[in-house]
Amino acid sequence: MAVDITKLTQTQLNDLINKAEQRKDELEKEKVVKVREKINKLLKDEGFTFEDVFGARGARRTRRTGKVPPKYQNPADPAQTWSGRGKRPRWFNAALKAGKKEKDLLIK
């Protein structure tokens, strides 16, 4: 099925492109389903489960979200602290410009 794109309008070309992209996505999804079916069949034939082979789902994706304890403290305002991660706070940069060293700002 050949389509002569030289005679299509801008709107018709856009429609054709959208339909082609949708079809491409559908084909990819179908392929993924077929691969999953093959994997599940192989696992079943060998007497294993997905978890036996690959472990619990999402076990490697867990991320620690605990709070990091502060490492530095503003000597002028002890309530202002910084963990040493991320962007330096203004008070930290100002203290460095005033001649303090990082080790002077460490929480003791």
What are 11-63's pLDDT values in tens digits? 999 999 999 999 999 999 999 999 999 999 999 999 988 888 888 765 566 66
pTM (global) more than 0.85: no
Q: What is d(CA 18, CA 20) in angstroms, rounded to the nearest whole number?
A: 5
> Is 95 a residue whose pLDDT tops 80?
yes
Residue 106 · residue 72 · CB < 8 Å: yes
Closest CA to 108 of 80, 67, 70: 70
Give me the residue label for tokens 């036996």: 52
Report DSSP state, residue 73: E
N- to C-terminal Cα separation, the chain: 77
* pLDDT recorded at residue 67: 86
pLDDT band at 66; cut points 50, 70, 90: confident
